[in-house]
Copies of this chain bind each other. A is one copy, B any other.
Amino acid sequence: VTRVLVTGGSGFFGAAAIAALHGFGEVHAVARTPPESSAPGVTWHAIDLLDPEAARSLIKELRPTHLLHFAWNARPGQFWAAKDNLDWVAATLMLYRAFADAGGTRFVGAGTCAEYDWSRPEHVEDQTPLAPATLYGRAKSSTFQLLGAASAQDGVAFAWGRIYFVYGPGEQRGRLVSDIACELLSGGSPKCSEGLQQRDFMHIADYGRAFAALLQSEVQGAVNIASGECRSVRSVVEAIATQIGRPDAPQFGARPSPPHDPPRMSANVGRLRDEVGFRPVFSLEAGVADTIAWWRRKS
């Protein structure tokens, strides 16, 4: 029997992955507060994973074969330096231990492009040095290295999907695409930096499908999860403004660029494409249209 447990199930990534896992065995999900509605056929467990006893009991009782771990502090603007990054490292190690002890066979975790040395414009999983500039990036990269070493000894299959830049329906405010779309839809003229920095953006539904595919594959180790198309932040803002019909509204250059902002963060997606066999469905233009339609319905 295949029994999947998704942590952070009520979050942006967790919900998208759950939707994409439909049909892959028995799907269970953990959240501090399970959502009122979610994909059909999912069994919810209301647990705070920062409580190690609660996590251990659930794993022991459920005995999942597959674990897809998203739960972490992800509050926009706050998570980079949050003290509880250390708590999430500890909770993740204890979750893994309980899972391995209970006979679990495959553990997939959520990493980040912030694990890499940002002075490198392109990130290749086994070549680009891990040299995180932030506590969040350090917490994720240490978790990756620790679970990699432990799982190799334990005979647990382990993969780690490194997330780049995401957008889409349901994204919380305080992030690039959600804020720009909402400001433009409500008649504002968002102040932007020049926006020349290049990033890889992928729609949340594609992120969900990519993680579901990674979980169902036999690929091990780190895998960049991204579209493979790196473009300027300015071009993303322009796509939103054009589709909303207010192409001249964004005020580029009205804000300074953040200090130390890397000019280019491009994901090499060779492993994701060739080994996992995943390709995104949404182009940026289609994804932006989908996102704007969602905000219009919501308001």
- Interface residues of A, Cβ cutoff 8 Å to B: 52, 81, 83, 85-87, 89-91, 93-94, 96-97, 100, 132, 134-135, 138-139, 142, 145-146, 149-150, 153-154
On whether the beta carbons of B154 and A146 are closer than 8 Å, the reply is no
B-chain residues with CB within 8 Å of residue A96 when the two chains form the complex: 86
> Are B81 and A90 within 8 A (Cβ)?
no
Query: With the chains together, A54 CA to B150 CA distance in Å?
Result: 26
A153 with B87: in contact, given A139-B146, A142-B145, A146-B138 (CB under 8 Å)?
no
Contact partner, A90, options B90, B135, B145, B154, Cβ 8 Å: B90
* A94 touches which of B90, B134, B139 (Cβ 8 Å): B90
Note all chain B residues with C-beta closer than 8 A to A146.
Answer: 86, 89, 138-139, 142
B86 touches A150 (CB 8 A): yes
- Chain A interface SS verdict (over half): helix
Q: Give bound CA distance, A139 to B142, whole Å.
A: 9
Q: Give the CA-CA distance A135 to B100 in the complex, in Å.
A: 16
A81-B153, A139-B146, A149-B138 given as contacts; is B86 within 8 A of A93 (CB)? yes
User: How far does the alpha carbon of A97 sit from the alpha carbon of B89 in the complex, in Å?
Assistant: 12
CB distance from A211 to the nearest CB of B (A): 23
Partner of A150, one of B135, B153, B154: B135
A146 to B142, CA, bound (A): 7
What's the least CB distance linking A232 to chain B, in Å?
30
A85–B154 Cα distance when bound, in Å, is 13
Taking CB atoms, residues of chain B closer than 8 Å to A93 are 86-87, 89-90
* A130 CB, nearest partner CB in chain B, Å: 10
A92: nearest residue on chain B (CB-CB)? B90
Point out the residue from B91, B135, B150 that lies within 8 Å of A83, measured CB to CB.
B150
- How far is it, in angstroms, between the C-alpha of A139 and the C-alpha of B96 when the chains are bound? 14
Name the residue of chain B whose CB is nearest to the CB of A138.
B149
Closest to A86 in B: B93
For residue A86, which residues in chain B have a CB less than 8 angstroms away from its CB? 93-94, 96-97, 146, 150
Q: Which of A83, A94, A142 has the most CB of B within 10 A?
A: A142
Residue of B nearest to A147 (CB): B86
A209 to B247, CA, bound (A): 69
A177 to chain B, nearest CB (A): 29
Contact of A142 among B85, B142, B153, B154 (CB under 8 A): B142
